[in-house]
Amino acid sequence: MLISNAYAQAADAGRVAPGGDWSGILIMVAMFAVLYFIMIRPQMKRAKEHRAMVDALGKGDEVITGGGIAGKVVEVGDNFVQVEIATNTVVAIQRQTITTVLPKGTLKAL
């Protein structure tokens, strides 16, 4: 025979890997901590700021929706906001779709 047989080597039962069993767990905890501070925490902060902005909406605020429509809030309801997008043109928009509250007088400059 030209090629010798390869046999599996038996593992040492009493030997522990370098770093012990805790190294895998510590790496997982460190990765979760990094993901929390880089991804999860900033997203929760943005959601909290958006919720506060939507709750503070009032009549006369100038807003931009998620679809890019700019208008002036005419009436505020529980789930919907009536927004005037042109003279005598009022549309109902869900509160959560409002992305930005503009400073007063911005629509006149457009």
Q: Phi/psi at 94 (nearest 5 deg)?
A: -65, 145
pTM of the model: 0.69
Q: Where are the domains of the chain?
A: 22-109
What pLDDT score does 24 carry?
A: 84
- Per-residue pLDDT, 109: 83
* pLDDT under 70: residue ranges of the chain: 1, 11-20
- From residue 105, give the alpha-carbon distance in Å to each of 26, 35, 66, 75, 82: 55, 41, 20, 18, 19
Give the distance between the most distant pair of CA atoms in the chain: 94
Instruction: Give the pLDDT score at 18.
Output: 59
Tokens of 63: 């807003």
- Cβ atoms of 83 and 72 within 8 Å: the answer is yes
Predicted pLDDT of residue 3: 80
Neighbour tally for 85: CB within 10 Å: 14
CATH code reported for the domain at 22-109: 2.30.30.60
Structure tokens at 73: 């809030």
| Type of residue at 71 | G
The β-bridge relationship of strands 80-86 and 89-94 is antiparallel
